[in-house]
Amino acid sequence: MDESDADFSTVKQHAADNDTLVQLKTDEYLLPGFIDLHVHAPQWPNAGVALDQPLNEWLDTYTFPLEAKYQDTAFAKRVYDDLVAELIGNGTTTALYFGTTHNPANSELAMACITHHQRGFIGKVAMDNPDQTPEYYRDASAQSAVADTESFIQQLTELNQTADIKQTPVITPRFVPSCTPESLKGLGELAKKYDLPVQSHCSESDWENGYALEHYHMRDAEVLDQYGLLTDKSVMAHGTLLNQSDLDTFKDRGVAIAHCPISNVYFGNAVLPVSKLLHQDVKVGLGTDLSGGYSPSLYQNIRQAVISSRMLHDGVNAELSPEERGTDNQPISAKNGFYLATVGGAKSLHLKTGQIKAGYLADLQVVKSPLRAFEDENMETVFEKIMYHASKSDIKRVYVQGTQAK
Ligand code: GUN
Ligand code: FE
């Protein structure tokens, strides 16, 4: 038995315990793998670039030109191989991806996930609105946006036949402004026909909500709901500007929010009131939003989720009354952030993962203590130090469904 086999038997044994953190050796700990609920795979080459632009200008000037390059399938393969390895390296065992409009490139993303043993949920991006997308990067028509989404579903079925880790297709209208009513309608019908997950952006910016109000006389959540795109398999990114009526709809339909705290600092200029949402039983998980968020690490996003939530008290969301600020909108802890990156994401995708527990998938990360201990430390202290200090180099091994991926 080589060393990795020995490790795997330990992993299996501990996977039977109901714990968040299991000590393996003096300074090595086993944690559940992370679930990244919102990644734009094609934007990886721009991570950290142009974060000072407003959302719509950033899309037009930096993002659409980059995404258009995935017409070149060889370029797609190079980027996607690198990105999936990077996410696995950071402890992310499941990821919900936006691809691009190009299906050959989207298949490369699925193949990269299969090669690197990551559980991918992958969407062919639909964006057919000629008023809000550039001619060089858009679906030719509503019909082709829907037909290409359907053919991507079939492509994944074929790829999955020989894959150990299955990849799931996701219905992906980019967001309300990028799509025509016809494509939104067709995509809603596809989601129902195949009973598939749906992902989009919802209430991320005033500009996006303003577009929905002007063109549909409705909020963007209401537009998505009208077309059958809000279901208990839907994951909506950001949601920072959802009002109480939208949240009631989310709760009623079982829609999850992908909280992207780093991205929200730059593009949303807002803080998601996580405690309030969890108290209202709205599902919430954590997303990097690469490259609206600059970091591929969910540890970094856990930290930002905690830091941002603490700022609610300083009036960042100025419309909240002082009473609201002190109760439901109380700051979240590192443990809450960890919950979002594990259990929250798993619930959003209906997966039995995110916990080290009998009957759950063995999606795991082995993390070395990032800091030296100067005296005996209890597990609480160890956990907090890992949450605040772990980086990629501290993540020694990663397992997805029991297969070693790092
Ligand atoms: N809204 C529409 N497209 C995007 C995108 O690529 N990133 C972010 N953050 N918001 C969007
Ligand atoms: Fe996004």
Map tokens 């944690």 to a residue.
31
SS3 285: strand
Domain annotation covers residue 1: no
Q: Which ligand is nearest to the CA of 262?
A: 1
Domain annotation covers residue 10: no
Map tokens 């679930």 to a residue.
35
Q: In this structure, are residues 172 and 200 in contact, taking their beta carbons and an 8 Å threshold?
A: yes
Cα 288 to ligand 2 centre (Å): 9
Q: State the pLDDT at residue 324.
A: 52
Extract the tokens encoding 176.
Answer: 């309300």
Site to probe by mutation for ligand 1, drawn from 43, 46, 63 as the one with most ligand atoms within 8 Å of Cβ, is 63
Q: State the pLDDT at residue 7.
A: 40
Q: Is 138 in the pocket of ligand 1 (CB under 6 A)?
A: no
Q: Which ligand is nearest to the CA of 42?
A: 1
Q: Cite the DSSP H helix spans in 16-135.
A: 55-58, 64-68, 73-89, 103-115
Question: Would you tell me the crossing angle of helices 103-115 and 73-89 to the nearest 10 degrees?
Answer: 30
Residue 353 Rama label (left phi>0; alpha psi -120 to 50; beta): beta
SS3 360: coil
Burial (CB < 10 A; 0-12, 13-18, 19+), residue 361, is buried
Amino acid identity for residue 178 in this structure: S
Domain annotation covers residue 392: yes
Map tokens 């108290």 to a residue.
279
Instruction: Report the distance separating Cα 154 and Cα 182, nearest Å.
Output: 22
Domain annotation covers residue 7: no
For residue 151, cis peptide bond before it (omega within 30 degrees of 0)? no
Q: Is 264 in the pocket of ligand 1 (CB under 6 A)?
A: no
CATH number for position 41: 3.20.20.140
Q: What number of CA atoms fall less than 13 Å from residue 190's CA on the CB side?
A: 29
Domain annotation covers residue 295: yes
Q: In this structure, are residues 236 and 202 in contact, taking their beta carbons and an 8 Å threshold?
A: yes
Q: Which ligand is nearest to the CA of 66?
A: 1
Q: Is 348 in the pocket of ligand 1 (CB under 6 A)?
A: no
Q: Is 36 in the pocket of ligand 1 (CB under 6 A)?
A: no
Of 247, 132, 229, which is closest to residue 179 (Cα–Cα)? Answer: 132
Instruction: Report the distance separating Cα 178 and Cα 211, nearest Å.
Output: 10
**Structural domain of 108:** 28-404
Q: Is 220 in the pocket of ligand 1 (CB under 6 A)?
A: no
Site to probe by mutation for ligand 1, drawn from 44, 55, 60 as the one with most ligand atoms within 8 Å of Cβ, is 55
Instruction: Report the distance separating Cα 406 and Cα 308, nearest Å.
Output: 31
- Measured CA to CA in angstroms, residue 336 lies from 180, 330, 342 at distances of 38, 12, 10
pTM of the predicted protein model = 0.93
- Structural domain count of the chain: 1
Residues having C-beta closer than 5 Å to ion ligand 2: 237, 289
Domain annotation covers residue 12: no
Q: Is 175 in the pocket of ligand 1 (CB under 6 A)?
A: yes
Map tokens 């949920």 to a residue.
121
Cα 6 to ligand 2 centre (Å): 40
Instruction: Report the distance separating Cα 23 and Cα 329, nearest Å.
Output: 34
Domain annotation covers residue 163: yes
Q: State the pLDDT at residue 311.
A: 81
Per-residue pLDDT of the chain (406 residues; tens, 9 = 90+): 333 333 433 333 333 334 578 888 889 999 999 999 999 999 999 999 999 999 999 999 999 999 999 999 999 999 999 999 999 999 999 999 999 999 999 999 999 999 999 999 999 999 999 999 999 999 999 999 999 999 999 999 999 999 999 999 999 999 999 999 999 999 999 999 999 999 999 999 999 999 999 999 999 999 999 999 999 999 999 999 999 999 999 999 999 999 999 999 999 888 999 988 998 999 999 999 999 999 999 999 999 999 999 887 544 445 555 555 445 567 889 999 999 999 999 999 999 999 999 999 999 999 999 999 999 999 999 999 999 999 999 999 999 999 999 9
Q: Is the ipTM reported for this complex over the cut 0.90? A: yes
Domain annotation covers residue 165: yes
